[in-house]
Chains A and B, each alone.
Chain A
Amino acid sequence: MTESLPINYLTYPRGLRCWLLTLDHKRIGVMYLVSVAAALVLGLLFALLMRTELIAPGRTIMGEDTYNRVFTVHGAVMIFLVVIPGIPAVLGNFFLPLMLGAKDVAFPRLNLASLYLWWIGALFLLLTLAFGGLDTGWTFYTPYSTSTNTNVLAAVTGVFILGFSSIFTALNFIVSIHTLRPPGMTWRRMPLFLWGLYATGLIQVLATPVLGITLLLLAIERILGLGIFDSTLGGDPVLFQHFFWFYAHPAVYIVILPGMGIISEVIPVFSRKPIFGYRFIAYSSVAIALIGFLVWGHHMFVAGQSVLASTIFSALTFLVAIPSAVKVFNWLATMYKGSIELAAPMIYALIFLFLFGIGGLTGLFLGTLSVNVPLHNTHFVVAHFHYVIIGGAVIAFLAGLHYWWPKMFGRMYNQTWARISALLIFVAFNMTFFPLFIMGARGLVRRYYDYSAFLGTNPEFTLYNQLATIGGYLLVTGLVSMATCLISSLWTGRPAPANPWNAPGLEWQCSSPPPPENPPPPAQVGDPYDFSQLAVPATL
C-alpha cells in the first residue's frame, strides 16, 4: 500500500461545511471524539487543581469557596460531558452501523442533532463557569441548590439539553439494532458490543427523562418558588434525592455497560478464542440494566430513609453484583488456555479487569448498611467510584480506542509506546486513588479543601494526600503520552491494513479507514467470534 490512502470518509467530501452538515455516522463519531476529548482535558484540569490544593494541609492554592466550585465543575463536566456520552457517542456511533453492515444509523439527522445538542449543552456548562460558577456538587441537591447564589440555572439548562442528546443517541441505537441487522445476524449472533449498547440505550431512554423532570422542577423552583422540594413550603427535599438517583444510579450503568461490551470484543481477539459464555454475557448486560433501576436508594441510607426501604435497597444492590461478576468470570474463562497477545488494547482490557474488580467489590462494602454509615461521604466513596468510572469505563474506552484506531484513522500506532503509556496510566491511577480508600476508611470526609482537623488523630493523611497528588500528575502524564502516541501515528504511523488484528467482526472487512459509503453486508453474516478461519496476526 502506498502512503496516499484511497478515498475514505475522512478525505471525501472535503471542507468544514461538509463536516458540520454531515449525516455520516463515522464523521459524527470523530467529531464526538474531538469534543469529548476537549471536555476531558477541561475536567482533568480541574482535577489537578483539586489535587494540588490537597498536597498540603491548610490553604494551598485556593480557599473553600473556590474548592467547592472546582470539584463541582470537575464532576459535572466529567459525568455529563465525558463519561455518559463517551463510549456510545464516539465508538458506538462509528462502529454500530459498521458492525451491522448498515449504511448508517436508523435516524442520521437525529444523530447529528444529538451532536449539536451536546455542543449547546457544553456551551451552557461553560457559561456557568464564566457567569457565577457552580458550587452545588454535580448532584444539585436541594435545598442548597435552590438557595445558592451561583449559576444553577445555566448548569441545569445545560444538563437538561445534554439529556436530550443522550436520549437521541440511545433511541437511534435501539431502533438500528432492531431494524437494520443484516441477514444471518440473529440476536444471539450479534457482537457483544452491540448488546452492551442496546442495554445502555434502554437505560438512557428510561432514566434520562426522570432527570429531565427533576431539573425542570428545580429550575421552576428557583424561578417561581414552586415549593415541591422546599420543606418550609410543605415540599419534600428528599424527593429530589429520590428523583435524582433514580436517574443517576442507572447512569453509572450507562457509563460502564458499553465499556463491558468493548472488553467482550477485545479479549477474544487477543486470546484467539471464541468468547466464553456468549449468552450469559449478553443477557447479563440486560440484567444489569434492569436491576440497576432498583438500587437507587443505596445513595440515601443516611438521608432518613426507612430501615425497611434501606434493607431492600441493600439486598438489591448485592443482586446487581451477580451479573457483573458473571461477565468477569466469562472473560477470565475466555482467556484460559488462549494464546494471549499483549497488544495495547489487551493490556487495557487486563487493566480493566483488575481495576473494575476493585471498584466493583468495594461497591459491596458501600452497599452494606452498617458499613455504609461510617463510610458515607468519605474519600472511600470517591475512590470506589473512580475505580469503577476511570478504572472501568475510561480504561475500556481506551481499550476500544486502541483496538479500533487503525480502522478509524487508517494508521498503526507505535505498540511499544502505547504499552508503556498504558502501564504508566495503570500505576499512576492506583497511586492516585488507592490512598483514598485508606484515608476514607479512617474517616477523611470528602469535598473538604483542608484536612488539618484530621491530622491530630491521623498524621499520615498528609503523606497519603501527597502520594495521591503526585499520582494524579503522573496519571495525566500517562494520558498525555497515550494521546501523543495515537495522534502522532496519523503522520508517522504506517498505513493500517483492513484487518490488522485478524479479528472476525464485520467492521474489519472494509478498508481502513472505511470508504465514505459503508460497504453492504455479506450475503450471510457468520459468527462474530469464529477464529477458525483466521491466522494469528503478524502485524504486531
Chain B
Amino acid sequence: MSNADHHLVAGAEGHQPSLAHHFSSHRQQYEAGKLGMWLFLLTEVLLFGGLFCAYAVFRANRPEIFIWAHQFLDKQLGALNTAVLITSSFTMALAVRCAQWDQRRLSAFFLTLTLVCACVFLGVKYVEYKHKWEEGLLWVRQFQPAEAAASLDESGTSDQQPRHAGIFFSIYFAMTGLHAVHVLAGMGAIGWVLVRTLRGHFNRQYFGPVDYVGLYWHLVDLIWIYLFPLFYLIH
C-alpha cells in the first residue's frame, strides 16, 4: 500500500479509537507494530545469544563436565515440557487466527488453553528445580551433589565427577531460569490480550496486539526447543 493510499484511508478511519492519531491507516499502524515486535524479538535473541555463546565456550573447553552432569537431568520431564510448549505455540497460533477472523470467544478459548500449557510448563519446571535443590545439584558455588554422585558411581554408569562439574548447573540455571522468566512475562502478556479480547477490543482491522504477543510466545517456545537437546540430550 502506498503512502498516498494511507492518506486516503485516513479520512474513512479518522474517528476510530483503535487507530492512534499519528498513523494514517490501520494497516500502517499494524505494520509499524509488527516491525517493532520483530526488532524486540531480535534483542531477545541477542540476550539469549550471550548465554548460548557461554554454553558453547564451556562445552568446547570442558566436554567431560557436560557428559557427566547431564545425567542428572530428567529426560522424560524435559521431553514432556517440550511437547507442552509446542502445543501451546499451536494454540497461540489458532488464537491469532481467530482474532483475525473476528471470532472473539474462540480466540479467548485458545488464549486460555495457551495459558494452561504455560502453567503446566512452569509446574514441571518447579518439580525439576525442587529435585535439583534437594540433591544439591546447584550452581557451582552451591554445588554439593554428594548423594546423587555416589548413587551414580555405584551404578557404574559413569566416570568420576570431573573438576568444577557445577559449572554445568550454573549455565543450566542461568539459561532455563532466564527462559522461565520469559515464560512468566509471556503469561502476563497473554493475560493482557485475553482481557482485551473478552472486552471486545479486537476486530478484523485491529488485532495487532494478539499477533505481536503470539510472535513473542513462539520465540519463547523456540528458545526452549534449543535448550532441551543442548542440556538433556547430550551424548
Residues on A close to B: CB < 8 A? Answer: 102-104, 106-108, 110, 167, 171-172, 174-176, 178-183, 205-210, 212-214, 216-217, 220, 224-228, 230, 233-236, 239, 243
Quick one: given A205-B43, A234-B164, are A179 and B141 in contact (CB under 8 Å)?
A: no
Contact B43 A234, beta carbon cutoff 8 Å:
no
Contact B43 A226, beta carbon cutoff 8 Å:
no
Contact A226 B139, beta carbon cutoff 8 Å:
yes
Contact A226 B140, beta carbon cutoff 8 Å:
yes
Quick one: given A182-B3, A213-B50, A226-B140, are A205 and B42 in contact (CB under 8 Å)?
A: yes
Quick one: given A108-B22, A179-B31, A227-B141, are A234 and B166 in contact (CB under 8 Å)?
A: yes
* A-side contacts of B65, CB under 8 Å: 234
Contact B47 A210, beta carbon cutoff 8 Å:
yes
Compute how far the CA of A106 lies from the CA of B51 in the bound complex, rounded to whole angstroms.
31
Compute how far the CA of A399 lies from the CA of B73 in the bound complex, rounded to whole angstroms.
59
Q: Which residue of A lies closest to B45 (CB)?
A: A209
Question: Does any Cβ of A come within 8 Å of B12's Cβ?
Answer: no
Question: Does any Cβ of A come within 8 Å of B127's Cβ?
Answer: no
Residues on B close to A: CB < 8 A? Answer: 2-4, 20-22, 28, 31-32, 35-36, 39-40, 42-44, 46-51, 53-54, 57-58, 61-62, 65, 139-142, 163-164, 166-167, 170-171, 173-174, 178
Q: Label chain A's interface by main secondary structure.
A: helix
Candidates B50, B61, B171; contact of A243 at CB < 8 Å:
B50
Compute how far the CA of A233 lies from the CA of B141 in the bound complex, rounded to whole angstroms.
7
Among all A-B residue pairs, the 6 with the closest Cβ atoms: A234-B164, A225-B141, A227-B140, A213-B50, A103-B22, A209-B46
Contact A208 B43, beta carbon cutoff 8 Å:
yes
Contact A103 B43, beta carbon cutoff 8 Å:
no
* A-side contacts of B40, CB under 8 Å: 171
* A-side contacts of B140, CB under 8 Å: 225-227, 230, 233-235
* B-side contacts of A171, CB under 8 Å: 36, 39-40, 43
Compute how far the CA of A228 lies from the CA of B61 in the bound complex, rounded to whole angstroms.
13
Contact B49 A210, beta carbon cutoff 8 Å:
yes
* A-side contacts of B57, CB under 8 Å: 236, 239
Compute how far the CA of A225 lies from the CA of B58 in the bound complex, rounded to whole angstroms.
17
Shortest C-beta distance, A365 to chain B (Å), equals: 30
Candidates B20, B42, B49, B54; contact of A239 at CB < 8 Å:
B54
Contact B166 A228, beta carbon cutoff 8 Å:
no
Compute how far the CA of A176 lies from the CA of B170 in the bound complex, rounded to whole angstroms.
40
Compute how far the CA of A220 lies from the CA of B173 in the bound complex, rounded to whole angstroms.
11
Compute how far the CA of A279 lies from the CA of B53 in the bound complex, rounded to whole angstroms.
36
Contact A234 B62, beta carbon cutoff 8 Å:
yes
Quick one: given A175-B39, A224-B139, are A233 and B164 in contact (CB under 8 Å)?
A: yes
Q: Which residue of B lies closest to A212 (CB)?
A: B47
Compute how far the CA of A176 lies from the CA of B33 in the bound complex, rounded to whole angstroms.
10
Quick one: given A171-B36, A210-B47, are A224 and B21 in contact (CB under 8 Å)?
A: no
